[in-house]
């Protein structure tokens, strides 16, 4: 039969959670993290979606429902464009349609996708492996 632990030991063991990463989650408790700190945080997190939705509603009211449907179909088709397995995926067509081709951010500067090209093999061997010819 186990001895009951003292109250100080049980309360301190409840406070320390080894699975919680303080660098990512901070010092807030779960109750504090559920409460939004500022009303604009939620809006800023979904800014691109809200802006796209507003543009589609303006297009629908001025040009009819076919205009936003056309743009949605173009973006979906551009996002599904395939590429050869030995070439890096760039999403250039989708970025042009969304207008992100002129934006330069930290993801463009610190992206390591260009270094993957050196790790890939010769194009003929990669295609033969992709087509199960080897």
**Could you tell me the pTM of the whole model?**
0.54
Q: What's the average model confidence in pLDDT over 22-47?
A: 70
List the domain range (segments joined by +) for residue 52.
48-79
Residue 90 located in a structural domain? no
Residue 22 located in a structural domain? no
Q: How many domains does the chain have?
A: 1
Residue 58 located in a structural domain? yes
Residue 59 located in a structural domain? yes
Residue 68 located in a structural domain? yes
pLDDT in tens, 47-99: 889 999 999 999 999 999 999 999 999 999 998 888 787 777 778 899 898 88
pLDDT in tens, 95-127: 898 888 888 877 777 766 555 555 567 888 888
Residue 117 located in a structural domain? no
Residue 11 located in a structural domain? no
Report the 3 state secondary structure along the chain.
CCCCCCHHHHHHHHHCCCCCCHHHHCCCCHHHHHCCCCHHHHHHHCHHHHHHHHHHHHHHHHHCCHHHHHHHHHHHHHHCCCCCCCCCCCCHHHHHHHCCCCCCCHHHHCCCHHHHHHHCCCHHHHHHHHCCCC
Residue 72 located in a structural domain? yes
């Amino acid at each position: 039969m186990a001895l009951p632990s003292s109250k100080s030991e049980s309360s301190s063991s409840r406070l320390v959670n080894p699975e919680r990463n303080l660098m990512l989650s901070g010092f807030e408790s779960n109750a504090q993290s559920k409460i939004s700190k500022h009303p604009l945080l939620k809006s800023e997190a979904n800014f691109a979606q809200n802006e796209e939705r507003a543009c589609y509603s303006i297009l629908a009211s001025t040009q009819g429902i076919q205009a936003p449907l056309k743009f949605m179909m173009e973006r979906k088709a551009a996002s599904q464009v395939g590429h050869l397995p030995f070439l890096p995926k760039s999403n250039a067509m989708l970025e042009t349609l969304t207008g992100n081709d002129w934006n330069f951010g930290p993801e463009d500067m610190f992206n390591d996708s260009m270094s993957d090209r050196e790790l890939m093999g010769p194009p003929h061997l990669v295609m033969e492996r992709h087509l199960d010819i080897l």
